[in-house]
Each structure stands twice: as structure tokens, then as C-alpha cells.
Amino acid sequence: MSRMYLSALFACAALAALFSLRQAEPSPLSEPVPSLPPLSGQSIRVLLSSGPGLYLFDSLEVIPLYERAQVRGGPGPQSLRPAFSSLGDGPIRFTVENGQIRASVLGQSYDLGAFAEVSPSPQAQPGTRFLIGAKNRAGFFPEYPGSLHLSLREGRLLVVNQLDMQEYLRRVLPSEMPPTFPLEALKAQAVAARTYAYSRMSAPPERNYWKSFGADLDDSTSEQLYNAQPPQSLTDQAVAETLGQVLTYRGEAVQTYYFSTSPGSTASIEEVWPDRDRVAYLRARTQANPLTVNITGEGQALGFFKNWSPEGFYDGESSLFRWRLTLSREELEAILSKTLPALRRASPQFVRTVEGRYAPERPEFELGTLEGLKVLRRTSGGYITELEISTSRGRYWVGRESNIRSLIRPDRRYTGGPDILLERFNGVSSPNFPALPSAAFAWEEERAAGNLQRLTFWGGGYGHGVGMSQYGARGLARAGKSHREILEHFYPGTTLTVLKADK
């Protein structure tokens, strides 16, 4: 999901509470589908990040809590042998020495081999947790249940946390959705998160990058944010009350993409990600009542995004329901001079030179004077999927929603000047936002003697736009909709299925 983390700021405007959904009532909870694996014994493997986009640790300190832990090591994951156990003995420090993992505690060192595991000892009662020294968050130290699996990669440590699915979801839910949201919205999020995790677990290696690391997914917004906030009572309740519930389509777990805030509509998956196939349940849907969002031109788009009234919109209480940003031509040139070459290197199939001698991938590339931007393709809900940049040195095409958001980065690190402020719908201004909140925007130009002087971007929403809008789920829950109705709205045609238990 950015793909999936909610802003912590809440809007002050009140949501109109009397709107209703014009949709068929969802069917009752289905019977278990025999082809799906049983509920009991499910565990998931989460690759732990060492930093944004980083997964290798130079060293690792692990502190067992509540019960004694056992450390095992060996040449392979299937040939591990007990090395020692520890509780209250101080941190267990793992390093790489002479091409193998070494564990040290209380002055003793143990050579473990190429693989190591830290898990509750066989005599431990349920409830063992681990603190990881390199994984602290602002305001709290996350506890990791289950077991930790260490392996060598490029002379450093790769760490995978294997744990029960319910325990995983208890730490995903408050990280992805504020626990102040209504219970039915949290339950919808729990089902979406469980289904997403389940689909990643069952995906073959060629369709899941993380399998090459011995994991099902990672702990960041690249997939689902895990252990960024501690478990909370209401999110725990949502996880417990949806035990075993997943969304299926034709007997298989679906792709439950979700994001923070829609500007008034979601988007179809193939519009946002053109390298993905069309999916029947991931279609563009208006997120307002009684309004219908259908943008057909740039003038209409500008008027839509300049409308800052939240009335009737399900996402109207999000601080990023609407946003505004002004950049001078010089600031935008400084940004594009850096982001265009970077995107060309990272995503060459979606960045190309239409006209001009100097392509962004060439060392001598210079952007030149910015002459204007042009929308080449936009979804009916307002998300730009193709954009053209015109300068005195050439014209450049950029495709894909995520690239367009990364192209215009309102951050002083790219301009070298003062802070750049993004004004949110609730009146709060955020300095140096890392990328545009969404690709749903339009702009106004200021020109002098025909030359571009500045652009004001009017936008809405936060995230990619595919699947469930989390603030939309909040709005629907406040309007009295159940979690089943919310899920049916965002993933139409799917079935809420209960995983069967072992007999």
C-alpha cells in the first residue's frame, strides 16, 4: 500500500451524517470455502526494515521479555541446533564475524553459522516478546512476538519476524488506521489487512518479491505498516471480531489495496498502474452522495479541486481531502532537474523524451526553462496518469500515478531555498512534504509577457486511489454502515468468507 499510512492530523469540519449509499445490500457472511487453508496455525513472515527502503543490519540487539528465549544456529534454516537460552541476562548482540553469525551475551560468544533463530524456549508460556534495539519508534519500543530468523546477505544481517496472523494484525491495524476511528471502519480495515496479508502469503515467488528473502511481506508502507504503533483496545477488538474473515472472489483471496483519502472518487487499478491487469472488484467509484464525480476536462478538474466544501463526501474529514501548493517556476525547475533523471533511471518504461537532444538519463542533461505542464491522461475521478513537461530544451512524458507524485516533490532539499508549504484542507500547513499527496490535482498558471512565473496546484486526497479509502471507510461507518457494507462498497462483487478451522 503508499502506499497505505494515514496522516495523523484530523480535519475539524463535521461530516454530513445523513447521506446513504445507493448500492445493493451485501450478502450474509458466506460459508467456509474448502479450497482455502484452515484458520488455525496460520503464521506470517515479515521482513524487518533497518531504515526507509533498507533491510540489512550491521548488528542487532535482541532483548527477550517475560519468558526465556532459545537461540539456535546452523548452516541452513532446516538444520538449526540449540546454542544457548537467555532471559534477563542483558541484550543478545548479533554480529557477522568471519562469514557467520555470532551471538554475544554476558561476555560469552557463540558462533551460530549462516542462519540463526531466536524463539521462545520449549518450556516458555505464551506471551514471549522481543525488543529489538534498532527498531525503536517515537514514543515507544515495539515488542515483537513469535520468533526472529536471521540470515546472512552481503555480509550483513537479514531479519524476518515469524508470528501468528492475529498477533500480526494487532500491530498492523493501529499502524495503518487511527484507533479513534469507528469500530466498523476498523473491522473493515482488519479484513482488508488480513486479506492482503493472506494473498501475499499464497502468492508464488515470481509474484512476490519478498519470497526471495524468506518472507511474505515487509514491515513498511511498501506493503502494510507493522509495529509502528502499539496494539490498542479498539483495534484489538476489531481484529478479534473479524477472526478468520477474508474477502474472496471466485474462491480466491482478493487484492485488497487501500489508501488514506480519496478526493471524491477511487480509481481503477489498470488506470493507476498500467502494468496491472483489469480487476472486476477494483474499479473507480464515486465517494460522495448525492454527487457523482465524472471529470472530463481540465477546466472541470480545476473547479472540482478548488471546491473545498466537504459536504456529501465520505472523505470530507481528512486533513488531506483538499490541499494546495504554490511553486515558482525556478523552484519547479530545480525540483524537476533532479526528479526527472531519477525517475528515468528507476522507471525507464514510464519516463521518456518526446522531443529534444538531451535525455534525462544522459550526464549532460539540463532541463532548461520550464514552459509548461500538460495533462495527457486523467481518470474520471481526477487522478493524472500521464503528464507532459515542456521546456526550452525538450518535451518529456511521464506515466504512472506514483511517478507523477514523485516528479513534483515540494521539499526544500530539491530547491535549496526556504521551506515549501503544502496547505491542508484543515488549515494546517506542512513544510517540505516528501511528494505530492496524490496524483489527483490541477493547476493555475501565472504568466508575465507569456513566460511562466509560478503554478498553484489544487489537489485532493492522499494515496494511490485504488481499493478502499480509509477516511471513506470512516465516513461510511459514521453514517451507520457495517464493516460488511463498507467492504462491499469498496470491493464490489467480492464475498466475505470465513476461513474454516481444523477439525
Strands 384-391 and 115-120: unpaired
- Same domain? For 178 and 226 the reply is yes
Percent of the chain with pLDDT over 70: 91
- Same domain? For 252 and 308 the reply is yes
- Same domain? For 77 and 141 the reply is yes
Cα separation, 474 vs 480, whole angstroms: 10
Task: With respect to residue 446, please indicate whether it lies within any of the assigned structural domains.
Answer: yes
Sign of the four-CA dihedral 256, 257, 259, 261: negative
pTM exceeding 0.85:
yes
Domain that holds residue 62: 57-153
Cα separation, 342 vs 346, whole angstroms: 6
**Stretch among 178-182, 254-258, 326-330, 360-364 having the lowest mean pLDDT:** 360-364
Task: With respect to residue 164, please indicate whether it lies within any of the assigned structural domains.
Answer: no
Task: With respect to residue 47, please indicate whether it lies within any of the assigned structural domains.
Answer: no
Please give the residue that has the higher pLDDT: either 202 or 14: 202
- Same domain? For 33 and 178 the reply is yes
The neighbouring-strand residues paired with 245 are 498
Residue that is last in its domain, among 95, 119, 153: 153
Q: What is residue 318's predicted lDDT score, i.e. its pLDDT?
A: 98
Task: With respect to residue 51, please indicate whether it lies within any of the assigned structural domains.
Answer: no
Looking at the structure of the chain, the number of domains it has is 3
Q: What is residue 16's predicted lDDT score, i.e. its pLDDT?
A: 29
Task: With respect to residue 168, please indicate whether it lies within any of the assigned structural domains.
Answer: no
pLDDT bin (cut points 50, 70, 90) of residue 139 is confident
Residue 4 has pLDDT above 70, yes or no: no
- Through-space distance between the first and last CA atoms of the chain, rounded to whole angstroms: 35
Q: What is residue 35's predicted lDDT score, i.e. its pLDDT?
A: 53
- Same domain? For 75 and 121 the reply is yes
- Same domain? For 357 and 369 the reply is yes
Going by C-alpha positions, the residue among 158, 5, 114 that lies closest to residue 470 is 5
Residue 439 has pLDDT above 70, yes or no: yes
Residue that is last in its domain, among 124, 153, 182: 153
pLDDT bin (cut points 50, 70, 90) of residue 66 is confident
Please give the average per-residue pLDDT across 153-172, as a whole number: 96
Q: Per residue in 10-39, pLDDT tens?
A: 233 322 222 222 233 333 344 445 456 566
- Same domain? For 314 and 187 the reply is yes
Task: With respect to residue 49, please indicate whether it lies within any of the assigned structural domains.
Answer: no
- Same domain? For 87 and 199 the reply is no
Q: What is residue 210's predicted lDDT score, i.e. its pLDDT?
A: 95
- Same domain? For 439 and 353 the reply is yes
Half-sphere exposure of 35 (CA within 13 A, CB side): 7
Q: What is residue 348's predicted lDDT score, i.e. its pLDDT?
A: 95
- Same domain? For 140 and 202 the reply is no
Task: With respect to residue 500, please indicate whether it lies within any of the assigned structural domains.
Answer: yes
Going by C-alpha positions, the residue among 410, 336, 324 that lies closest to residue 366 is 336
Q: What is residue 128's predicted lDDT score, i.e. its pLDDT?
A: 81
- Same domain? For 318 and 341 the reply is no
Task: With respect to residue 52, please indicate whether it lies within any of the assigned structural domains.
Answer: no
All cell numbers assigned to 490: 469498496
